[in-house]
Copies of this chain bind each other. A is one copy, B any other.
């Protein structure tokens, strides 16, 4: 139940809500593992990746905010609690402790690949359900694919 009247039909609202909640969880988890690696990374490329990861975090946080507020705007709530992220995220797990720079690159290529694949499905899912939401998901995906390239380019 929501204080906001949806401008969508119930069916379209449910489809769109599912896409947005999924994106929210993935993006928040990306922001958390981005910081986790930002802190625990070491290796000859430490400084460059330490800075690059803050761009990952910044993009992920802004995108998460956008999709969460979009969910509210179409009449559903958003769930970005730690336990929900821990349970529902499709982002690969990161081990505790220090992590070498080469491992960071591999890990984030995997993470971006997983999220982008889901985002592509969410873009398809919202095509007829809500073109306004779809446009938001497309913009976020463009940015994620750009960042994904930058990690892949570092594989050497």
Contacts and interface: CB of A to CB of B under 8 A. Distances in A.
Interface of A: 1-5, 7, 28-29, 32-33, 35-36, 39-50, 52, 64-65, 68-74, 77-86, 89, 93-94, 96-98, 100-101, 113, 116-117, 120, 123, 131-132, 135-136, 138-139, 141-142, 145-146, 148-150, 152-156
Contacts of A131: 123, 138
Task: Report the 5 A-B pairs with minimum CB-CB distance, sorted nearest first.
Answer: A82-B85, A82-B86, A83-B86, A46-B153, A42-B153
Nearest to A155: B3
Q: How many copies does the complex hold?
A: 12
Given A7-B117, A132-B141, A68 B153 contact: no
A153 B116 CA distance: 31
Contact of A82 (B4, B29, B65): B29
Contacts of A85: 32, 82, 86
B7 A149 contact: no
Contacts of A84: 96
